[in-house]
Chains A and B, each alone.
Chain A
């Protein structure tokens, strides 16, 4: 079975992640959706890397993991700061920001 199937799988996961970000109102859930999208990108990189036969894509996926970990730290810090201020983390709560 060709590694290209993993690219299809990655596309499915990416779509699920994107839909999560667009649909979920809970900040943590939306954030997990973003993580899924990054992972889908990683799977794409690794699968293409396998097809090419080199490991450049793997190196890139490794960098993405490091960046994603940093992003998680910052994101969760923001979520904690917000939830300390108010005991709710819904994106649609009565908002002080009105457009």
Chain B
């Protein structure tokens, strides 16, 4: 038997985050919520005498699958939100009716089952699981090996880019830069000032003018830079100021 408190806890941490699949706008939020669902399910497995499966659930789903989802989300662009506007009128209601109907049907059918719960269940300890895996299910295990092979091969086919161009040494890269008329030395770093030390401020050349190329292009596009003019003080005035201070002493 399962403690009712535990059941309601599991129900709470699975259903509510799962609803974010339907209502949240940002895929990253959804992925994070689904991680919570997976953890909740792992708790349920442990409560249902399947400790090994609970551990596998954590390792495979929260540890690998959902992290993979998050990686891919980051790769294809995190800040994309999705409009929830429906494209085919009425589709939303048809889909919701189908899904809710299916769920209700399953619940109503299951609820009519004669309830008999085995009082002395076999606990899914690793050794017990192993004796089944390599018993009658051994052929399934072997076939799963082929499933994994085809998944790995498929992923490689679609994502692995072999070296298409000859590898260039550092000397060659440098020669190409010179040939292209680029500056042979390092570009100036962004500004480092006594009053402002950050990537968004350009460096100043010896004459005190800002060097545009020292600020990241991305920051410029986003309009997150400052032009550095506020740091370009009147050198003479500043010197006089400092000199005056010295005179005071």
Contact = CB atoms under 8 A, between A and B. Distances in A.
The answer to whether any beta carbons of A and B sit under 8 Å apart in the complex is yes
Interface stretch (B93-101, B194-202, B240-248): B93-101
Contacts of A88: 80
Contacts, number: 239
Contact of A26 (B27, B91, B107): B27
A6 B91 CA distance: 30
Interface string A1-24: 111111111011111111110111
A22 B96 CA distance: 8
Q: Classify chain B: how many residues form its interface, as a range.
A: 35 or more
B186 interface: no
Contact of B21 (A6, A36, A55, A61): A36
A55 B132 contact: yes
Given A39-B38, A62-B133, A73-B151, A53 B53 contact: no
| Range for the number of chain A residues in contact with chain B | 35 or more
B48 A3 contact: yes
Interface of A: 1-9, 11-20, 22-26, 28-29, 31-33, 35-36, 39, 42-43, 46-47, 49-56, 58-59, 61-63, 65-74, 76-81, 83, 87-90, 92
29 contacts: A1-B4, A3-B2, A7-B106, A8-B107, A8-B110, A8-B111, A9-B15, A11-B103, A15-B103, A19-B100, A23-B96, A24-B21, A24-B22, A29-B21, A36-B21, A36-B34, A39-B41, A43-B41, A43-B44, A47-B44, A53-B118, A59-B137, A61-B45, A63-B144, A70-B147, A70-B148, A73-B151, A88-B80, A90-B82
